[in-house]
């Protein structure tokens, strides 16, 4: 009766007109169509996109071909036996899984395909551990296709291959691309500096790992009589550690490249050594400037970043080294604020002088009065050195 009626291209049976717009505007044909459709429980609005492959077939032919779930014969999963990383595509990925069953479920769900026409798809999976390296995944799928409920059960064996990932292989092989040397000018780095360097290195690597960078690791840290040596996996890490050290402590970096090898593509591979040279004086050091014209007294170092800055322990005035001197003006170290001795204030003489007890001889001595001196204090920290006796600021002044 209706001219618009279609026929199944495979079996030739007439197919009810499933087109929505035609259905509402072709009068008699509409009723016929709806009546026919009721048998299937199909609603016009749920009919799949007519462009979908195979949708021009009648119901019987469509379901004859229909494959609800597309499952592989087997899923092979490569995991790193050392760190648990999983090999995906062309690379190793950290998945953070506690056991291989979780990994296997995820890999299977990635490998399974469900027909595009299926709606309301749900699935359950039941892993069955067959042996140490085999897990059988029993998967049960449900969904709705052309308005009809469908279900399918598939079993996918998962084979787990335990290997060593690139990163763990490199770590095991003591691989490194860069060396960071922590040194100091005219002295040995102190524990505070080397401990901080290690902390910085660990933090940088942890941050890079957290962003999914699997190439970030520290191969070795070793203390030498000159300071600290660290072998790290990339030049970028070496550079970051060095920069952070200088940012915090001052000093300078020298880098030197060494050609180590050629990679598989014939590119030259360089190993970069970053030598961090920390400044000769540290905050808290008391130094005597070598400049003969300088008679303003010793300097308590406050900062060694950029030009050395400090406080004169005779007056409390600010001192800053010239640009040419930078962080290493010609000077001798007299002592450290940390090692200052607390001594008794005998009397305040005037705005320029104060009497304190010499901590060695217990004799009253007149010394210059810096502006940080608290006239109400009963005791003050002092440093006795070859430059004489000097009142230092209380450490809380820092
Ligand atoms: Zn057909
Ligand atoms: Zn690994």
The domain in which residue 191 lies consists of 174-278
Ligand of minimum distance to the alpha carbon of 59: 1
- Ligand 2 center–CA 274 separation, angstroms: 28
Band of residue 18 on the pLDDT scale cut at 50, 70, 90: low
Ligand of minimum distance to the alpha carbon of 84: 2
Chain segment 324-371, per-residue pLDDT in tens: 888 888 899 999 999 899 999 999 999 899 999 999 999 999 999 999
Give the whole-angstrom CA distance, residue 222 versus residue 109: 46
Q: 19-28, 67-76, 134-143: which range is least confident on average?
A: 19-28
pLDDT over threshold 80, residue 50: no
Question: Which of 133, 166, 199 lies at the terminal end of a domain, its last residue?
Answer: 166
Do 152 and 179 fall within a single domain?
no
Question: Model's pTM, two decimal places?
Answer: 0.67
- Ligand 2 center–CA 212 separation, angstroms: 13
- Ligand 2 center–CA 53 separation, angstroms: 44
In the chain, how many domains are there? 4
Do 147 and 206 fall within a single domain?
no
Percent of the chain scoring above 90 in pLDDT: 59
The answer to whether residue 95 sits within a structural domain is yes
Question: Which of 140, 166, 192 lies at the terminal end of a domain, its last residue?
Answer: 166
Q: Is 222 left (phi over 0), alpha (psi -120 to 50) or beta?
A: beta
Do 136 and 107 fall within a single domain?
yes
- Ligand 2 center–CA 330 separation, angstroms: 51
Do 209 and 146 fall within a single domain?
no
- Ligand 2 center–CA 170 separation, angstroms: 9
Do 300 and 393 fall within a single domain?
yes
- Ligand 1 center–CA 66 separation, angstroms: 13
The answer to whether residue 45 sits within a structural domain is yes
Give the whole-angstrom CA distance, residue 93 versus residue 80: 10
Question: Which of 251, 278, 305 lies at the terminal end of a domain, its last residue?
Answer: 278
Please report how many Cα atoms fall inside a 13 Å half-sphere around the Cα of residue 357, on the Cβ side. 13
The answer to whether residue 1 sits within a structural domain is no
Neighbours of 334 (CB within 10 A): 20
Ligand of minimum distance to the alpha carbon of 12: 1
Ligand of minimum distance to the alpha carbon of 82: 2
Ligand of minimum distance to the alpha carbon of 169: 2
């Amino acid at each position: 009766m209706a001219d618009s009626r279609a026929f199944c291209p495979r079996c030739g049976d007439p197919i009810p007109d499933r087109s929505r717009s035609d259905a509402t505007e072709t009068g008699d044909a509409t009723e016929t169509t709806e009546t026919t459709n009721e048998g299937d429980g199909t609603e016009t609005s749920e009919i799949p996109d007519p462009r979908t492959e195979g949708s021009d077939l009648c119901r019987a032919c469509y379901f004859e071909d229909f494959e609800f779930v597309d499952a592989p014969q087997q899923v092979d999963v490569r995991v790193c036996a050392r760190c648990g990383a999983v090999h995906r595509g062309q690379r190793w990925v950290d998945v953070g899984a506690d056991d291989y069953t979780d990994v296997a479920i995820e890999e299977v769900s990635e490998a399974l395909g469900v027909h595009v026409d299926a709606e309301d798809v749900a699935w359950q999976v039941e892993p069955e551990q067959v042996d140490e390296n085999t897990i059988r995944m029993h998967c049960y799928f449900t969904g709705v296709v052309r308005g009809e409920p469908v279900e399918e059960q598939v079993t996918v064996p998962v084979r787990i291959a335990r290997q060593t990932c690139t990163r763990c292989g490199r770590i095991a092989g003591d691989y490194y691309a860069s060396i960071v040397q922590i040194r100091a000018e005219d002295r040995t780095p102190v524990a505070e500096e080397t401990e901080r360097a290690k902390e910085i290195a660990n933090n940088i690597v942890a941050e890079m790992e957290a962003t999914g960078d699997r190439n970030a690791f520290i191969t070795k840290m070793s203390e030498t009589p000159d300071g600290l040596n660290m072998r790290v996996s990339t030049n970028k890490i070496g550079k970051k550690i060095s920069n952070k050290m200088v940012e915090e402590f001052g000093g300078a970096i020298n880098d030197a490249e060494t050609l180590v090898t050629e990679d598989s593509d014939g590119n030259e591979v360089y190993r970069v050594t970053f030598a961090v040279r920390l400044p000769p004086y540290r905050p808290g050091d008391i130094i005597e400037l070598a400049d003969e014209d300088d008679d303003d007294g010793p300097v308590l170092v406050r900062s060694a970043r950029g030009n050395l800055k400090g406080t004169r322990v005779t007056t409390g005035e600010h001192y800053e080294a010239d640009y040419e001197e930078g962080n290493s003006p010609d000077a001798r170290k007299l002592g450290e604020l940390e090692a200052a001795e607390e001594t008794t204030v005998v009397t305040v003489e005037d705005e320029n002088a104060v009497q304190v007890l010499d901590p060695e001889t217990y004799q009253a001595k007149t010394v210059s009065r810096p502006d940080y001196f608290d006239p109400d204090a009963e005791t003050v920290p002092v440093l006795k050195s070859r430059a004489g006796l000097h009142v230092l600021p209380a450490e809380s002044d820092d």
